[in-house]
A and B are shown apart, each in its own frame.
Chain A
Amino acid sequence: METRRNDGPYPPIRDLAAIGDGRTVAVVSLDGTVAWLPIPYVDSPTVFASLLDTRHGGRFALAPEDPFEARRRYIPETNVLETTFVTDGGRARITDALTLPTGGGLVPFRELARRVEGEKGAVRFRWSVEPRFGYGSDIGAMGRRSGIPVATGRDQAVAICSWDAGSPQLTPEAVTGAFETAEGSTALIALSIAHQEPLVLPPREDVERRLDETIASWQRWAAAREATGPWRDQILRSALALKLLVQAKSGAVAAASTTSLPEEIGGERNWDYRFSWLRDSAFVMGAMLELACKDEAEAFFWWLMHASQITHPRLQVLYRMDGGADAPERALSLHGYRGSRPVRVGNAAAKQAQLDIYGDVMQMAWLYGDAGHPIDREFGDRLAAVADLVCDIWSRPDAGIWEVRGPERHFTQSKMMCWVALNRAGRLASTAQIPSGNVERWRSEADAIRSFVEDRCWSEAKQSYTRSADAEDLDASVLLGARFGYGDPAGTRFSRTIDALRRELGRGTFLYRYLGDDDLRGQEGSFLCCSFWLAEVLGLAGRRAEAVDLLNELIAFENDIGLYAEEIDPSTSAFLGNFPQALTHLALISAATSLTEGAS
């Protein structure tokens, strides 16, 4: 456990933690504030959003009145958070969970449970629940039901149930309370949340039971995962973080639980990541199969095949968690994290052309089929049609993996992943999982892609694959070409590319994804997944000692509970971007399992 103080209005992203129930995710800061909670799903409008607007966003604050130090951990092998507060007067512990609907009985639609246990001496706590519905746009109305304070919005309501947590006081904007812990005392505050239905008002016994069963349920899930080796704890924590982002209802995996945590403080690089990106699909499937998440792998495959049916054979960069294809982007009138505006919901990247996703999806399908899961005839036909489409479109420019919003280009990584798409199509056809009628065409087009990349995407001056055709700037995403077998990681060109990327894009342990122009103002941090990709590719290239050192260095930069955001500022180690970030944790799992297997 780590000890730190947090006094600012906006908590450092590094100080955030995530809890979830497979449907939504709450973000809790080290100072005991629940600063983010969308309802009913992770991609829904929020009840708490002080993370993006401390004045209008709404929050659930719970902390000692006196100056304190806080340290925290996840209860081992769970997504239940435990924060210990130490004051001059004593020590107390908060256990936070979004409870799972276990154990039968009438359960709330969603439930946030916060148990406060006195460990030593006396600690006086003050709490305040300030719900703001619809991203802070609706302050709602306060009232009571059967004596319990209730905040009601238009189609949502929050009951603030408390036991031994002081007498709740209602104001037009908040429900507040104060209480003092003693050694062995237990207070409980539970938010029962309703969406388009009447509230359920739970008794204390039910909340306590659900909280304990939620802990046991997470531990059962973690115990069934197959993680071994020197990085077992980090792999397991990443698996748990990933599971938080899996929508239990559909099987979709969100890229992160938040929107608009900035890639540059005060800048405009603020995006909504509460969608499922096909870019992540190969890593998602790889991680799920590696960790023996059979049910999740099947659900994800089916979700992706059904979601992409709408646009078939064209694939979209991202889909909504419910499988919908529309993700219209708009700006909210929120202050933004430390003034970083606009605060966006929706994502215009959905309509971009991005060729690398075809390689990701075909790789995902190949992993799925290769693991013994049958691909039925309809899906097989559709995957073959996707390969045919790749033959038609690989030579076009696109927006690339990083979704550049300026003019389209011939991005090298996009071409490499088109080669991967056709290669995997050939493999699937060779095992009769998809029709083989066009195998020759796939093979000849794959050869043409290789010629294009080798002729136009290699710089003799830089001794590296370049970011795009006929350019000289570099891009860390070409590492994925080595990761997914476009080329031999130990071969001359990729070995030299690795060195060039470290030389040009490296800042100590970290890699920027690129340094070239992307038609946005400002400068972002270094992209954490790229550094994990580098560690994995170093291992694949036979440079194991370098790979292990790099992986261990990267792990040293995780936050105190083992989570990562999207980016990191190389000079301050501050996290940047949305949190927790699936792609970073997927890259960690991939690198750590690859290096573990490489050692055996």
Chain B
Amino acid sequence: MTIWGALAGGFVGTLVLTTMLRGASELRLTRIDLPFLLGTALTSDRKRAKALGYIAHFMFGFLFALGYFAIFWAIGRSGWLLGAALGLAHGAFAGTALVNVLLPLVHPRMGDTMSAADTVALLEPPGFLMLNYGRRTPVVMLLAHIAYGAIVGGFIAWS
């Protein structure tokens, strides 16, 4: 178990997670676009938002991988299966609290149930389990995060 393993796992895991979400969009399963959601917190320019969003997304990917590493280190065990379990919890947290509740609180351009687009353009709020972005979004998100967790767990265990 090394930090370098966690960072490598975070990079590959985020790559796979991003690809899965993008693929799900192309398969018409969801409208979730995490880089767009993250990038528009930094700029209102669409193109720059997408570019910055991808950078931010990978940064979060590294941060969460370090979080996984800390948990594995604390319990003295690691592995892809344990990583997948953490990914499941991570995905559930992302869908219920992180993106649904916390992101609208800090995102300057995201609407919530109490806001209206009176003066500035707002992004559609994700809703519980991000269901606003499509009925299959929770399943897609969970599967993508399980894959992320399994990859991070595997890399940490092998390093």
Contacts of A152 in B (CB 8 A): 31, 132, 134
Chain B nearest CB, measured from A207 CB (Å): 9
In the docked arrangement, what's the CA distance between A199 and B115, Å? Answer: 15
- Given the interface contacts A104-B44, A105-B44, does A148 sit within 8 Å of B117 by beta carbon? yes
- Are B117 and A198 neighbours in the complex by a CB distance under 8 Å? no
Chain B nearest CB, measured from A587 CB (Å): 38
Beyond A198-B36, A198-B124, 8 additional contacts (C-beta under 8 Å) are A104-B44, A106-B109, A146-B124, A155-B28, A155-B30, A197-B36, A203-B118, A203-B119
Most buried by A among B40, B44, B49, B111: B111
Chain A interface size, under 10 / 10 to 19 / 20 to 34 / 35 or more: 20 to 34
In the docked arrangement, what's the CA distance between A362 and B119, Å? Answer: 53
Chain A residues within CB distance 8 Å of chain B: 101, 104-108, 143, 145-148, 150, 152, 154-157, 159, 161, 194-203, 205-206
Chain B nearest CB, measured from A172 CB (Å): 16
10 A-B contact pairs sorted by A residue (CB < 8 Å): A101-B46, A106-B120, A146-B112, A159-B124, A161-B117, A196-B31, A197-B25, A197-B31, A200-B124, A206-B121
In the docked arrangement, what's the CA distance between A159 and B123, Å? Answer: 11
In the docked arrangement, what's the CA distance between A381 and B70, Å? Answer: 60
- Are B125 and A197 neighbours in the complex by a CB distance under 8 Å? no
Contact partner of A106 among B33, B40, B126, CB < 8 A?
A: B40
- B96-138 vs A: 1/0 string, CB under 8 Å? 0000000000000101110111111111111000001110000
- Are A105 and B115 neighbours in the complex by a CB distance under 8 Å? no
Contacts of B33 in A (CB 8 A): 196-198
In the docked arrangement, what's the CA distance between A155 and B22, Å? Answer: 11
- Are A196 and B26 neighbours in the complex by a CB distance under 8 Å? yes
In the docked arrangement, what's the CA distance between A107 and B115, Å? Answer: 18
- Given the interface contacts A146-B115, A161-B117, does A198 sit within 8 Å of B123 by beta carbon? yes
B31-45 residues with Cβ-Cβ distance < 8 A to A are 31-33, 36-37, 40, 44-45
In the docked arrangement, what's the CA distance between A161 and B116, Å? Answer: 11
Q: Does B29 contact A (CB under 8 A)?
A: yes
- Are B46 and A194 neighbours in the complex by a CB distance under 8 Å? no
Chain B residues within CB distance 8 Å of chain A: 25-26, 28-33, 36-37, 40, 44-46, 49, 109, 111-113, 115-126, 132-134
Contact partner of A104 among B45, B109, B118, CB < 8 A?
A: B45
Q: Which residue of A lies closest to B44 (CB)?
A: A106
Chain A nearest CB, measured from B53 CB (Å): 11
Q: Which residue of B lies closest to A152 (CB)?
A: B134
Contacts of B49 in A (CB 8 A): 106
Contact partner of B117 among A143, A154, A155, A201, CB < 8 A?
A: A201
Q: Which residue of A lies closest to B135 (CB)?
A: A141
In the docked arrangement, what's the CA distance between A106 and B37, Å? Answer: 12
- Are A106 and B46 neighbours in the complex by a CB distance under 8 Å? yes
Chain A nearest CB, measured from B113 CB (Å): 7
Q: Which residue of A lies closest to B37 (CB)?
A: A198
Contacts of A101 in B (CB 8 A): 46
- Are A201 and B28 neighbours in the complex by a CB distance under 8 Å? no
Contacts of A156 in B (CB 8 A): 31
In the docked arrangement, what's the CA distance between A152 and B28, Å? Answer: 12
In the docked arrangement, what's the CA distance between A196 and B37, Å? Answer: 12
Contacts of A143 in B (CB 8 A): 132
